[in-house]
């Protein structure tokens, strides 16, 4: 059986875009992240990295879609096949989609990346390691800003509103460490909660207009991963009723359960619900 150790080649559905590479891939893996799923309209994608200088387009040059700053997605301008991905976080290599290989059977995946984002109906029994939250935050996304934001805006309602009151127990060092190790997800209601809390703070004259604007800008700059998956009302209702939680708190628990993430909170009811349902407490919340 052949493999990719000497390189390989590939093409799009219509054959207009072609590529070749002459070195072994740096890695080969499956990715379950939502971006890859959306970009390929598939439950997950399989791809491999090839160092620049070892690959070239041999047919038509594909079109490029910049899906976010620093991220280039190459696709065939004729048939639309996704071909490759380049990101600022991997400046030395390009990522080709394994299914575009002329000989896809030569692909040798070694792991499932971003397993914490996998779809519940995808459960391959291939024995490969399942990696969780491998994404590391960029220094510009330093989570110390989360601490300042939350302390500035929520100190006046400490102990009255949760989950945000849990922020009173966060320390800068703990959040910086968390930021280096993984990413931080929030439910879709978080932007609404944040917005309302800051508006409310100004209406109660706790902060002025300039401060509110500054805090809103800072919240946006945090680039927290906002969960966009549709959540059934019945699922939220069942969780909230079972654990005597508000629907808001249940949304955090539902997210933690579905993405298999630890949860950052100091709310007693939520902590009890987490213990009962096997959700870990995020390490960056001080005890
Ligand atoms: Zn094509
Ligand atoms: Zn991905």
Relative to the alpha carbon of 95, which ligand is closest? 2
* Centre of ligand 1 from the C-alpha of residue 241, in Å: 51
Q: Which fold has domain 144-277?
A: Rossmann fold (3.40.50)
* Centre of ligand 2 from the C-alpha of residue 261, in Å: 17
pLDDT higher than threshold 50 for residue 104: yes
User: Which pLDDT band, with edges at 50, 70 and 90, does 78 fall under?
Assistant: very high
* Centre of ligand 1 from the C-alpha of residue 246, in Å: 50
Reported as a single tens digit per residue, the pLDDT across 150-198 is 544 444 333 333 334 344 455 545 555 554 555 677 888 888 878 887 7
Q: How far apart are CA 216 and CA 212, in angstroms?
A: 6
* Centre of ligand 2 from the C-alpha of residue 114, in Å: 7
pLDDT higher than threshold 90 for residue 134: no
- The CATH 2.170.150.70 portion of the chain extends over 8-117
Instruction: Find the mean pLDDT for residues 261-279.
Output: 80
* Centre of ligand 1 from the C-alpha of residue 81, in Å: 6
- The CATH 3.40.50.1010 portion of the chain extends over 144-277
User: Which pLDDT band, with edges at 50, 70 and 90, does 48 fall under?
Assistant: very high
pTM: 0.51
CA 15 to chain centre: 33
Q: How far apart are CA 285 and CA 287, in angstroms?
A: 6
In this structure, what token pair is assigned to residue 237? 């209702």
Instruction: Find the mean pLDDT for residues 260-284.
Output: 76
Q: Which fold has domain 8-117?
A: 2.170.150
Query: How confident is the model at residue 225, as a pLDDT?
Result: 74
Query: How confident is the model at residue 49, as a pLDDT?
Result: 96
Instruction: Find the mean pLDDT for residues 64-93.
Output: 90
Q: Identify which has the larger pLDDT, 209 or 11.
A: 11
* Centre of ligand 1 from the C-alpha of residue 118, in Å: 28
Whether residue 207 contacts residue 215, with contact meaning beta carbons closer than 8 Å, is answered with: yes
pLDDT higher than threshold 60 for residue 200: yes
Instruction: Find the mean pLDDT for residues 231-259.
Output: 89
In this structure, what token pair is assigned to residue 215? 């805090």
* Centre of ligand 1 from the C-alpha of residue 2, in Å: 25
Q: How far apart are CA 110 and CA 141, in angstroms?
A: 29
Instruction: Find the mean pLDDT for residues 12-25.
Output: 97
Q: How far apart are CA 44 and CA 133, in angstroms?
A: 15
Relative to the alpha carbon of 82, which ligand is closest? 1
pLDDT higher than threshold 50 for residue 99: yes
Give percent of the chain above pLDDT 70.
Answer: 77
Closest CA to 251 of 267, 148, 150: 267
* Centre of ligand 2 from the C-alpha of residue 53, in Å: 23
Instruction: Find the mean pLDDT for residues 87-92.
Output: 85
Instruction: Find the mean pLDDT for residues 237-241.
Output: 93
Q: Identify which has the larger pLDDT, 72 or 287.
A: 72
Relative to the alpha carbon of 89, which ligand is closest? 2
Q: Considering only 41-45, 75-79, 149-153, which range has the smallest mean pLDDT? A: 149-153
């Amino acid at each position: 059986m052949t493999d990719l150790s000497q390189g390989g080649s590939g093409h799009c559905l219509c054959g207009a875009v072609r590529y070749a590479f002459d070195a072994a891939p740096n890695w080969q893996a499956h990715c379950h992240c939502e971006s890859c799923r959306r970009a390929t309209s598939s439950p997950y994608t399989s791809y491999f990295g090839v160092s620049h200088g070892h690959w070239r387009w041999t047919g038509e040059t594909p079109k490029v879609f910049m899906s976010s700053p620093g991220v280039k997605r190459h696709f065939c301008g004729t048939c639309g096949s996704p071909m490759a991905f380049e990101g600022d976080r991997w400046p030395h290599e390009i990522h080709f989609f394994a299914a575009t290989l002329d000989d896809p059977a030569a692909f040798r995946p070694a792991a499932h990346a971003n397993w914490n984002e996998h779809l519940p109906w995808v459960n391959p029994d291939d024995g490969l390691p399942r990696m969780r939250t491998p994404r590391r935050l960029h220094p510009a996304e330093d989570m110390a800003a989360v601490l300042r934001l939350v302390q500035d805006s929520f100190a006046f309602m400490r102990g009255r509103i949760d989950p945000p009151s849990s922020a009173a127990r966060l320390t800068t060092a703990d959040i910086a460490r968390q930021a280096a190790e993984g990413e931080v997800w929030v439910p879709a209601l978080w932007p609404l909660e944040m917005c309302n809390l800051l508006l409310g703070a100004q209406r109660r004259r706790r902060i002025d207009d300039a401060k509110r604007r500054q805090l809103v800008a800072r919240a946006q700059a945090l680039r927290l991963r906002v969960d966009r998956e549709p959540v059934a009302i019945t699922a939220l209702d069942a969780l909230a009723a079972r654990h005597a939680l508000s629907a808001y708190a249940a949304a955090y628990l539902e997210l933690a359960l579905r993405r298999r993430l630890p949860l950052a909170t100091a709310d007693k009811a939520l902590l009890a619900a987490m213990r009962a349902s096997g959700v870990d407490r995020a390490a960056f919340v001080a005890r």
